[in-house]
């Protein structure tokens, strides 16, 4: 995989990595991991909501009557 960044992005990444005492690759990998974890968590929250609606729909329908 090749990651193409603008000159400004590359410089900002280089500065951040230097500030943190890490390589640019380590900073990018951490960002990707964080993105993937957040996306996975969002999908799980949605799934739990759908499951809750299915489970409690009969009760909520009775209460609405």
pLDDT per position as a tens digit, 8-61: 999 999 999 999 999 999 999 999 999 988 877 777 777 788 888 888 888 878
pLDDT of residue 37: 86
DSSP 3-26: ----HHHHHHHHHHHHHHTS-HHH
pLDDT of residue 60: 79
Residue 58 parent element (H or E): helix 24-64
The tokens for 45 are: 């929250």
The tokens for 5 are: 């960044």
pLDDT of residue 28: 95
Q: CB–CB of 63/38 below 8 Å? A: no
Half-sphere exposure of 45 (CA within 13 A, CB side): 6
pTM over 0.85: no
């Amino acid at each position: 995989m090749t990651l193409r960044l603008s000159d400004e992005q590359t410089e900002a990444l280089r500065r951040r990595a230097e500030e943190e005492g890490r390589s640019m690759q380590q900073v990018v990998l951490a960002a990707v991991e964080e993105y993937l974890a957040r996306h996975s968590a969002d999908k799980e929250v949605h799934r739990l909501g759908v499951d809750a609606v299915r489970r409690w729909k009969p009760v909520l329908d009775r209460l609405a009557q």
